[in-house]
Amino acid sequence: MIHPSLTRKVQEAAYLTAENAHRYRPIMRFFYEQHGQHRYTLTLDEVRTHLTIQDYTDDLAEQDLRQLVEWGSLTAEQDRSRVRTVDEWLRRRLRYQITPYGIEFERLLVQLEQAHGAGGSLDPTTLDSLWHKLQQLDAALSATADSQEYLQNLRRLWLDAYQYFDTTGKDAADYLAEMHRSRPDDLNELGAFLAFKDVLLQYLGSFLNSLMHYADQVRALLAGWEARHIDRQLVALLVLHDTTYTVDPDGLPPEATVVRAHYQQQVENLHDWFRRRGGVEMLRAKTADAIEMVVRHSQRLMERRRGGLSRRRELEELARCFAACRDDRDAAERLAGLAFGAAVPRHLLGSLEAHAMDERQSVWAGAPMEIPLGRIKGGRQAKARSAPMRDVTAEQQAALLDEVERRRDEAALWDSLFAQGDLSLGDLELQDAAIRPRLLDLVGRCLASPDGTALASDGTQIRLLAPTKAGAGHLAAPDGVLLIPHFKLSRTREKAK
């Protein structure tokens, strides 16, 4: 069902396209700027003084203001201040104020007028702020109360968290779209692009790492809310605050159904964006594509630059050689044959290897290529016979045996590490330093996983347990000692399906 507000004509925006828009728009912009400076009401004299339009009289200004009031862009109220002149006593004195519609229209126009250059940003701090606000919100929801101070604090935390969420998605999408649109195609901009490429890749990579780190944590937190129905409790408390401690401009409390639908939609937006294959996954893929695009684009520009390599000096040298043969026709023909090849084309059968031109060396100083030639038989070519398919059974069997041996070695490695049960990383001494990065990679994947588990290379499931001791442990190896929390790894013998 279409909402009735969508079927009415928006008369508040009529001043943008009206016949006298060249007068209406400066008036509305003046009211908007004064509203930003906390001057909420203006008089006719102030408006007429501000507009430096020739032959702009009081009657014409009053007519324009009256029309804006009729459209709903301005409101007018009687000026109750003391009369100081006869003219003020004779003329009806009104004070005008811009309406909320007029404020929003002018704010939008200002943003559109100032929109230049790259839009949006990839700021990892917004993700960090979102995570911390959700943590504070989770802690606040664990101690339920109904006091005004508690409800106000809860609403402030939710509004801040949703603002960070909204800013992250919109700014990142705008930035990536603008980056795809404004990538340089001119070779003259290649130097500046390559100089900025490393900074751009670092900027994109930092945001991508932050997105991957916080997305799993926020997803796990929201999954816990959904399982324990915390999100319903949050919506109920927000509705209770708005219906109890806020009022509409007409002096009545807002309708509970409207407020509930509003907050319920915000919570659903947050859940949907962080779900698997949701908005966060799309943003992660777009950021990765942007990194790949920057690398490909820089390589393409470099190839185009190499393809247009100038041979001006060599051509000038060749021209001087031809000038020296001005009186010797035979020498000029021999030089032309050496420079440009045979004048009459001939079909030669040979095996020309791929040859790349060296940018640092002249083609005249390069070694000649020898091409073995063979005789071309005349007549119709014999029909080529199809070659039999080569038997690769032995290669397949060897690859299979190698894979079985590799899996056996992997299983033996993890069996030896977990021979005594759970593995304590803070008190571990490794005989091979190459095992340490594999253990650290496993710990990192467990930390990023919502349930704290990850798969080892042999297919068994590893669970990361909380540190058992305070302080830092020592993960020793032949090449040194790594300080690490006293993490403990637990292994499930059955392979994960």
Between CA 119 and CA 167 the distance in angstroms is 12
Smallest Cα–Cα separation from 362: which of 322, 316, 324? 316
Within a domain: 355: no
Sheet holding 423-424, edge to edge: 423-424, 488-495, 460-465, 453-455
Asked if pLDDT for residue 117 goes beyond 50, the answer is: no
In a domain, 379, yes or no: no
The answer on 78 and 33 residing in a single domain is yes
Percentage of the chain modeled with pLDDT above 90? 10
State the pLDDT at residue 118.
45
Range of the domain at 457: 420-495
Asked if pLDDT for residue 183 goes beyond 80, the answer is no
Task: Please indicate, yes or no, whether residues 427 and 295 belong to a single structural domain of this protein.
Answer: no
Is the alpha carbon torsion for 335, 340, 345, 346 positive or negative? positive
Residues 274-293 have a mean pLDDT of: 79
**Same-domain pairing of 170 and 220:** yes
Let me know if residue 199 belongs to a domain: yes
Question: Is residue 207 in some structural domain?
Answer: yes
For the segment 218-231, the average pLDDT, to the nearest whole number, is 88
Q: Could you tell me if 148 and 50 lie in one domain?
A: no
When mean pLDDT is compared across 80-89, 247-256, 388-397, the lowest value belongs to 80-89
Do 152 and 99 share a domain, yes or no?
A: no
Is residue 142 domain-resident?
A: yes
- Domain boundary, last residue among 82, 113, 144: 113
Q: Note the pLDDT of residue 191.
A: 59
Residue 285 lies in a domain: yes
Mean pLDDT of 175-192: 59
pLDDT greater at residue 489 or residue 345: 489
| Angle between helix 190-228 and helix 230-245 axes, rounded to 10 deg | 90
The CATH number covering residue 19 comes to 1.10.10.10
pLDDT on residue 196: 61
pLDDT by residue (tens digit) across 11-29?
888 898 888 898 999 999 9
The answer on 160 and 61 residing in a single domain is: no
Two structure tokens written together for 117: 């250059």
158, 282: one domain: yes
Is 176 in the same domain as 254?
yes
Chain position carrying tokens 């929801």: 141
Last residue of a domain, one of 307, 342, 366: 307
* C-alpha triplet 338, 341, 347: angle, nearest 5°: 145
213 and 267 housed in the same domain: yes
Maximum pairwise Cα distance, the chain: 117
Task: Assess whether 134 and 180 both reside in one domain.
Answer: yes
Instruction: Specify the pLDDT at position 458.
Output: 80
| pLDDT at position 187 | 44
* In a shared domain, residues 103 and 146: no
Q: What is the pLDDT of residue 306?
A: 55
Q: Mean pLDDT in the chain?
A: 80
Using CA atoms, how far apart are residues 306 and 459, in angstroms rounded to an integer? 48
DSSP SS3 for 111 = helix
| Main-chain phi, psi angles of 197, to 5 degrees | -60, -45
Judgement on whether residues 8 and 102 belong to the same structural domain of the protein: yes
Could you tell me if residue 339 is inside a domain?
no
Tally of domains within the chain: 3
List residues bridging with 472 in a β-sheet. 485
**What values do phi and psi take at 191, rounded to 5?**
-60, -45
The answer as to whether 345 is a domain residue is no
For position 440, what pLDDT does the model report?
Answer: 87
For residues 340 and 226, the model is more confident at: 226
Mean pLDDT along residues 60-76: 91
Q: How far apart are CA 120 and CA 166, in angstroms?
A: 12
Average pLDDT (318-344) is 82
Which one of 262, 277, 307 terminates a domain? 307
